[in-house]
C-alpha cells in the first residue's frame, strides 16, 4: 500500500480583523492571509496528497469576495493535493455561504451537512467530514464510519476532518461536542480536528489517532508561541506509531510572546535609567527569537518591587525598543514603601494611602478577598500616579 502525505491545518480565521494592534492590525491581517497561502505552497513542496482543513478557514460565512477568490486562486495552483474542508462555527454552511456561492475547483471538497464519506479510489482512502450549519452545533456530528452517508465497506485508510470541541460529555459544548469515546468508536485511522486554537500532540483513542494543530498563525496574545500545521505520512505498514509520522511545522509569520520582566533586578544603583532597563529587557527578548526577535509581538509584564523614588514609565522603556514590530508593556510592579508611614503624612498622598489601607483592612475582616485584591492593586497603581503618569489599561 502506498504512503499518503497529509497536511492538517485549522482555524485560519481568514478575514478577521486584528483590533489589538492599532494601525498595525491591517498589516497583520494580510500577513495571516499570506502565511495561509504558504501552507498551500507547502502542499506542493511536500507533494501532499491531502490537505485537511478542519473548519473556521474563514472568520465568517460570507467573507469579502476578493478574499474568497484569492483563496480559490491559490488552491487552483495546487491541483495535485486533494483538499477537504469541514466548515466550523465561524464559516458555517448557509444559503449565502461562500462555500455555496463561489466556484470552488474540482479538487476541493467541502462537506455541507451531516457526516459523509468521500472515497478516493486512486489513493485508497475514505475521507469523512461534516459541516456546522449555524454558529451552534449541539448534536455531535461525528458518527461511526458505517453510519456515514456514502460509506462503502472497503479496506482503505479512513481519515476524518471535523470542527469540534473535545469535551468529556456530549452535553459539554454547543460547538459540536466530541468525546474520546466517540473518537474510539469512529473507526477512523486519523481524525483531523479544529476549533481549539492551542495545538495538541498527536494522541490516540482506541485505534484512532487525532490532533488539533491549532491555528497556523497567531492573532493575539491569547495565541502565544509557535503556530503552524501538522505534516504527516500515513501507511498501514507503520500505522502503529503515527505519533512519530506526524510533525508540527511552524507557519506563523511572527510569534506572539509574553515575557515577564523584573526591572527591580537591574536597579541596584540610584543612577539606573530607562535606557539600561530597556537594554536588559532587550537581552531577554533576544533569547526568544535570536535574529528574528525584532519580528515578534511582545506583551511585557513588569513585575516585582521597585523603590519609591524611581520613575519608571512603560512608554519610556518602549521608546528605546522602537525596532521591535510590536510591544506592549503592562506595569505590574509594586512600589516598596512603608504604607503605614505614608498614611501618616498630611498630604494628598497620605490621605489616599490611609483611605485605601482602611478599605483593605475592612475587606480582610469581612473575608472579601476579591475586594481586598482590587484595593491593593488600586493602592499600588494610585501611589505610582503620585510619582509619574500611569497608563493603565485593563487586560483583555
Among candidate residues 201, 158, 207, the one with its CA nearest the CA of residue 180: 207
Phi first, then psi: what are they for 385, rounded to 5°?
-65, -20
Taking the least distance from each CB to Mn ion, the nearer of 56 and 331 is 56
Q: Which helix (H) or strand (E) holds 364?
A: helix 348-366
Residue 114's CB is within 10 A of a number of other CB atoms, namely: 14
Nearer to Mn ion, 89 or 158 (CB): 89
**Is 301 exposed, middle or buried, given 0-12, 13-18 or 19+ CB atoms closer than 10 A?**
middle
Q: Smaller CB distance to Mn ion: residue 92 or 256? A: 92
Which residues lie near Mn ion (CB under 5 A)?
A: 56, 88-89, 195
We find the least distance from the C-beta atom of residue 212 to Mn ion, in angstroms, to be 11
Shortest Å, Cβ 91 to Mn ion: 9
Please report how close the Cβ of residue 214 comes to Mn ion at its closest, in angstroms. Answer: 12
Q: How far is the CB of 45 from Mn ion (least distance, A)?
A: 28
Element (H, E) at 258: strand 256-261
56 or 274: whose CB is closer to Mn ion?
Answer: 56
SS3 label, residue 255: coil
Beta carbon nearer to Mn ion, 136 or 345? 136
Angle value at C-alpha 71, between 65 and 73, nearest 5 degrees: 100
**Closest separation between CB of residue 174 and Mn ion, Å?**
11
When the beta carbons of 49 and 56 are compared against Mn ion, the nearer one is 56
Short-list 100, 107, 19, CA closest to 58: 100
Residue 231 Cα distances to 5, 39, 192, angstroms: 7, 10, 11
User: For the purposes of burial, counting CB atoms within 10 Å of the CB of 348, is it exposed (0-12), middle (13-18) or buried (19 or more)?
Assistant: exposed
Q: What is the nearest approach in angstroms of Mn ion to the Cβ of residue 110?
A: 16
C-alpha cell at 171: 452535553
Nearer to Mn ion, 194 or 228 (CB): 194
Least distance between Mn ion and beta carbon 56 (Å): 4
Amino acid at each position: 500500500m502506498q504512503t499518503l502525505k497529509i497536511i492538517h491545518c485549522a482555524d485560519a480565521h481568514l478575514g478577521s480583523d486584528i483590533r489589538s494592534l492599532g494601525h498595525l492590525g491591517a498589516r497583520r491581517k494580510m500577513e495571516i492571509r499570506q502565511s495561509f497561502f504558504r501552507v498551500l505552497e507547502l502542499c506542493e513542496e511536500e507533494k501532499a496528497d491531502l490537505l485537511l482543513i478542519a473548519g473556521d478557514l474563514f472568520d465568517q460565512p460570507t467573507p469579502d469576495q476578493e478574499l474568497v477568490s484569492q483563496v480559490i486562486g491559490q488552491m487552483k495552483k495546487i491541483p495535485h493535493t486533494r483538499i477537504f474542508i469541514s466548515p466550523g462555527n465561524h464559516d458555517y454552511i448557509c444559503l449565502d455561504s461562500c462555500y455555496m456561492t463561489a466556484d470552488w475547483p474540482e479538487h476541493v471538497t467541502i462537506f455541507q451537512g451531516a457526516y459523509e464519506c468521500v472515497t478516493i479510489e486512486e489513493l485508497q482512502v475514505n475521507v469523512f467530514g461534516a459541516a456546522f450549519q449555524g454558529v451552534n452545533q449541539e448534536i455531535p456530528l461525528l458518527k461511526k464510519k458505517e453510519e456515514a452517508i456514502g460509506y462503502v465497506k472497503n479496506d482503505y485508510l479512513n481519515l476524518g476532518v471535523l470542527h469540534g470541541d473535545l469535551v468529556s460529555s456530549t452535553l459539554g459544548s454547543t460547538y459540536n461536542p466530541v468525546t474520546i469515546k466517540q473518537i474510539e468508536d469512529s473507526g477512523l485511522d486519523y481524525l483531523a480536528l479544529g476549533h481549539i486554537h492551542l495545538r495538541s500532540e498527536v494522541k490516540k483513542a482506541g485505534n484512532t489517532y487525532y490532533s488539533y494543530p491549532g491555528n497556523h498563525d497567531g492573532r493575539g496574545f491569547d495565541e502565544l508561541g509557535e503556530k503552524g500545521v501538522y505534516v504527516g505520512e500515513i501507511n498501514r505498514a507503520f500505522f502503529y506509531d503515527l505519533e512519530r509520522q506526524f510533525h508540527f511545522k511552524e507557519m506563523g509569520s511572527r510569534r506572539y510572546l509574553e515575557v515577564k520582566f523584573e526591572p527591580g533586578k537591574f536597579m541596584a544603583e540610584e543612577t539606573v535609567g530607562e535606557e539600561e532597563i530597556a537594554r536588559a529587557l532587550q537581552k531577554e527578548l533576544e533569547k526568544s527569537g535570536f535574529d528574528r526577535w525584532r519580528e515578534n509581538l511582545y506583551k511585557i509584564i513588569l513585575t516585582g518591587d521597585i523603590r519609591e523614588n524611581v520613575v519608571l514609565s512603560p512608554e519610556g522603556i518602549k521608546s528605546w525598543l522602537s525596532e521591535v514590530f510590536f510591544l506592549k508593556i503592562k506595569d505590574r510592579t509594586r512600589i516598596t514603601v512603608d504604607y503605614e508611614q505614608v498614611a501618616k503624612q498630611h498630604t494628598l498622598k497620605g490621605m489616599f494611602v490611609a483611605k485605601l489601607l482602611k478599605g483593605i483592612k475592612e475587606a480582610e475582616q469581612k473575608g472579601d478577598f476579591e475586594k481586598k485584591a482590587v484595593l491593593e492593586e488600586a493602592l499600588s497603581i494610585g501611589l505610582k500616579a503620585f510619582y509619574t503618569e500611569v497608563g493603565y489599561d485593563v487586560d483583555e
